[in-house]
Amino acid sequence: MKTFAYNLFILTLLLSLYSCKTGPGIQALLGEQSPRDEYIRSLRKQKILETDEVQTWMLAGEAALADSLIISLPFREDGVFPEGGQRTFSYQFMLPAGRRLEAQLISSDSLYFLDLFRLQNTGKPQRLAYATPKNEVVSYETTEDIPLVLRLQAPLQQPSKDFSLRLSTQPLLKFPVAGKSAQHIISFWGAARDGGARSHEGIDVIAPRGTPLIASVPGTITNVGVNSLGGNVVNLSADRLNISLYYAHLDQQLVQSGQRVQAGDTLGTVGNTGNAITTAPHLHLGIYRRGSGSINPLAFVESPQLPAATVTKRLGDTLRTREATPLFSSLPPSKVTRQRLPKNSIVWVEASTKGYYRVSTPDGIRGYVLASSMQLPEKRLSRRKLSTDVFFRSSWDSVAEDTLKTGTSVDLLGIASSYEFIRLPDGRKGWIQPFSD
């Protein structure tokens, strides 16, 4: 009863938000009109916004933001939208400081809605970006760790469609030493200095003396000077980003205070001035977020992170657990699981990622399972004859399609909640409520 009352409240709230004369209330709060907003507007114009099907679709889209599976970046998942467009996918993850997220959906059908949200301190989602027909890649960059949710939803009444979702990250900054990369870093953030009296607030990149140091980002030179620790130093205030870059131990300084530079411009050359006089030439790079001090530069300059390939077999299949199997709420898996599926449980495969399937149980619980723990439900678990008439349905959520008469022989293929998945003598598979001989 509580669940029904809650759903009724949510539906009423959504209806009130989406039926305002000037446009859906959620749209008004968010400002811009996304493709999903425009789609909802079209449903309202067709006067079908209040139908059960549309309300269920809208509720699924909003509920997904509060019940996302947790993933880590980079990430790739190959999946399938079932016919009708009622299934919604959502992913929660942390975008590290210094990275640019690029989210792209590859599908044979361009009709889908891909929206990116930030989880605010209140837990409420704030929309940041969305895909459009002209810009199919959703991008977002940050100089602080930020929790995000990506929602993927198909429109109503669409045929079954496969898709591939790819989430990659790129560094915000060019690598600061010409011809070098993160593999040339010899000292990292947090390393002990002065016998443990302080910690390293930056990264050190080894390179021959005289190697050019380049501007990692467009900006303004705010200081060209000398100090006891850094020796010859250059400070660069980045455009757009709320950060400043500190280049230290330079052999030569080739810019002036107040000078405008573009990414790739030469600022000076590698040296070992300051307290680095007894070490090999290298660059010390520090990054400072305005108003909050130094931050780890590594993510800002390390190599792009690209998602691994996945195995796409079994998409849309009905599978059975080989043994009692944990249903994980995150990847990589944590010790916290959504539930433990009993042996011979039936699930539906929504998507696959490396080594795992994203599945949905017939009663709507979703999560990740080890692909190796699943099998096709072809081999019967037992054969029996019905001792009473029972209703038969081909899918869990469909209406009864047939009545099986007493004495009908059925093969038991799996279980789920209070139902059993069976195969009839004519080869049809479907669901009945438990029965007794």
Count CB atoms within 10 A of the CB of residue 146. Answer: 18
pLDDT beyond 90 at 76 = yes
For residues 206-210, average pLDDT: 97
**Residue 236's closest CA among 302, 283, 299, 167?**
283
Q: Which residues contact 38 (CB under 8 A, 6 or more apart)?
A: none
Q: Judge whether 288 and 270 are in contact, CB under 8 Å.
A: no
Domain covering 2-171: architecture: Sandwich (2.60)
For residues 348-377, average pLDDT: 93
Q: What pLDDT does 94 receive?
A: 97
Looking at CATH, the fold of the domain delimited by 318-375 is given as SH3 type barrels. (2.30.30)
Q: How far is CA 72 from CA 307, 314, 340, 357, in A?
A: 10, 23, 22, 16
Q: Judge whether 203 and 188 are in contact, CB under 8 Å.
A: yes
Domain 182-301 CATH (choose: 3.40.190.10, 2.70.70.10, 2.70.150.10, 3.30.930.10)? 2.70.70.10
Spatial distance between the Cα atoms of 319 and 352, rounded to a whole number of angstroms: 13
Looking at every residue in the chain, the average pLDDT score rounds to 88
Question: For the CA atoms of 415, 419, 420, 421, what is the dihedral angle to 10 degrees?
Answer: -90
Spatial distance between the Cα atoms of 51 and 389, rounded to a whole number of angstroms: 34
Q: What is the pLDDT of residues 228-245, one digit of tens each?
A: 999 999 999 999 899 999
Q: Judge whether 219 and 236 are in contact, CB under 8 Å.
A: yes
Count CB atoms within 10 A of the CB of residue 192. Answer: 10
Q: Judge whether 328 and 66 are in contact, CB under 8 Å.
A: no
Quote the tokens at residue 25: 């209330």
Spatial distance between the Cα atoms of 420 and 422, rounded to a whole number of angstroms: 6
Q: What pLDDT does 13 receive?
A: 39
Least confident range of 72-86, 89-103, 239-253 = 72-86
Residues of the chain with CATH 2.30.30.40: 318-375, 382-432
Q: Which amino acid is at 336?
A: V
Q: What pLDDT does 315 receive?
A: 87
Q: Percentage of the chain with pLDDT > 70?
A: 90
Q: Write down the CATH number for the domain with range 382-432.
A: 2.30.30.40
CA 77 vs. chain centroid, Å, equals: 10
The model's pTM is: 0.85
pLDDT beyond 70 at 107 = yes
Residues of the chain with CATH 2.60.120.380: 2-171
pLDDT beyond 80 at 369 = yes
For residues 37-52, average pLDDT: 93
Residues of the chain with CATH 2.70.70.10: 182-301
